[in-house]
Amino acid sequence: MGIEPMKVGIIGCGAISGTYLANSKKFDAFDVIAVADKRLEAAEARAKEFDIPKACSVEEILADPDVETIINLTPHFAHGPVGISALSAGKNIYNEKPLAVYREEGQKMLSLAKEKGLRVAGAPDTFLGGAWQTARKLIDDGVIGEPVGAFICLMARRGVRPGQQRTRPDGYVNFYSTDFFEFGVTWSFDRGPYYLNAIINLLGPVRRVTGSARKTWEERDDVFGRVKVNAPTHIAGVMDFVNGAVCTFIMTSDVYDTGLPHIEVYGSEASLRCIDPNNFGGQLYLRKYDSNELKPVECLFGYNSNSRGVGIADLASAIRNKRPHRVSGEMAYHVIDIIHGFHDASKEDKHVILQSTCERPAPLPLGLEDWKIDD
């Protein structure tokens, strides 16, 4: 790329850090030079496994003058506080999803970044994958005509049978085992950002939302026995986009999947069936106005395997080249504002006009190689 790689530190050395660290070796745009965790032994293990120069405490990584950007891989409830601490220390921040649990934390991050001339970015970056960039090009090229509506569905019975093992061989315990049913986790905050980033990439920002949310059971089985459910676990909502499209939204951990599509976009000339937005690549299908069949669409872009980290490469390139980054903090905040909007609409029996918005992220260029990013 002809520019110096951005020096990055990771806070949070749990399961997902392995994917980020493995993929970081493939990108030229950034180098991970330090890892930190409140469990120093976890940071030391990751540093040894991936040949990272420094393993340290959270306080030490925030004080390190060589670290320009923090990748925050902590549990959901720490995303806001750690992000605020990183920005306060003069670091750019890339938060795993969600950007924060509470709106106030997200607003504080955006405000600090503006004040200090820093960047806020947020996962997931799967919308930069080949399937999603192909879908974006089909819409931008007018293949489906005017976007009229969309459909989003995640149905999964989330529950752990008593005695089911959820501890990894390396000793890492998935945090869902203890707090999946707390507000700020559940599918809404955990998987919701995949679906919402994907649809914002395709259709742009949302103007208003409404919906109904329910807590189906007061207690659920978990690895430690019965746990209290402290948040809605089934949401049926509607999103009105700035461009006029209307989207039906279903997200639940209370039912069993029946094979409904994850995301579809409906236009005046054709309908587009998309993939599970937790993935970068997969088969798209298009039904045009003159056919009764869903026909497969050829993928036109790279990044079709697990490419987590491409968003950080984009952030690094954007900082070096003084351009907007695609995985913007504004989009990540807009996503949590939408999620809160569903909860608020149900609680207050009304439509919620969103106070946030964001730019639709720029598409990737055709012909971009895997593990590279445009200037």
Whether 274 and 191 map to the same domain: the answer is yes
Whether 300 is in a domain gets the answer: no
Instruction: Give the pLDDT score at 98.
Output: 98
**Which distant-in-sequence residues (6+ apart) come within 8 Å of 368 by Cβ?**
301, 302, 374
Which residues lie across from 173 on neighbouring strands?
167
Whether 368 is in a domain gets the answer: no
- Token output for 314: 């984009």
Of 21-30, 251-260, 298-307, the range with the lowest mean pLDDT is: 251-260
CA–CA separation, 191 vs 280, rounded Å? 14
pLDDT tens-digit map of 208-217: 999 999 999 9
- 340-358: b or e for each residue (b if 16 or more CB lie within 10 Å)? bbbbbbbeeeeebebebeb
pLDDT tens-digit map of 136-181: 999 999 999 999 999 999 987 654 433 333 444 444 344 344 588 8
Q: How confident is the model at residue 227 (pLDDT cuts 50, 70, 90)?
A: confident
Average pLDDT taken over every residue of the chain = 93
Instruction: Give the pLDDT score at 173.
Output: 40
Whether 359 is in a domain gets the answer: no
Whether 340 and 196 map to the same domain: the answer is yes
Q: Is the pLDDT reported for residue 249 higher than 90?
A: yes
Place of tokens 């720490």: 78
Percent of the chain whose predicted confidence (pLDDT) is above 70: 93
Instruction: Give the pLDDT score at 220.
Output: 87
Whether 367 is in a domain gets the answer: no
Angle at 208 between CA 205 and CA 213, to 5 degrees: 115
Instruction: Give the pLDDT score at 3.
Output: 76
Whether 56 and 141 map to the same domain: the answer is no
**What domain count does the chain have?**
2
Of 181-185, 198-202, 339-343, the range with the lowest mean pLDDT is: 181-185
Whether 143 and 283 map to the same domain: the answer is yes
Q: Is the pLDDT reported for residue 308 higher than 90?
A: yes
CA–CA separation, 90 vs 369, rounded Å? 32
CA–CA separation, 5 vs 281, rounded Å? 27
Q: Which CATH number belongs to the domain containing residue 85 in this structure? A: 3.40.50.720
Whether 21 and 112 map to the same domain: the answer is yes
pLDDT tens-digit map of 89-124: 999 999 999 999 999 999 999 999 999 999 999 999
Whether 188 is in a domain gets the answer: yes
pLDDT tens-digit map of 12-60: 999 999 999 999 999 999 999 999 999 999 999 999 999 999 999 999 9
pLDDT tens-digit map of 311-348: 999 999 999 999 999 999 999 999 999 999 999 999 99
Which pTM value belongs to this model? 0.94
Provide the 3-class DSSP secondary structure of residue 199.
helix
Instruction: Give the pLDDT score at 342.
Output: 98
Instruction: Give the pLDDT score at 155.
Output: 86
CA–CA separation, 313 vs 325, rounded Å? 10
Instruction: Give the pLDDT score at 195.
Output: 98
CA torsion through residues 67, 69, 75, 76, sign: positive
Q: Which CATH number belongs to the domain containing residue 135 in this structure? A: 3.30.360.10
Whether 375 is in a domain gets the answer: no
Residue 229, number of CB atoms within 10 A of its CB: 18
Whether 302 is in a domain gets the answer: no
State the residue range of the domain holding 217.
Answer: 127-291+334-353
Whether 224 is in a domain gets the answer: yes
Instruction: Give the pLDDT score at 180.
Output: 84
Q: How confident is the model at residue 221 (pLDDT cuts 50, 70, 90)?
A: confident
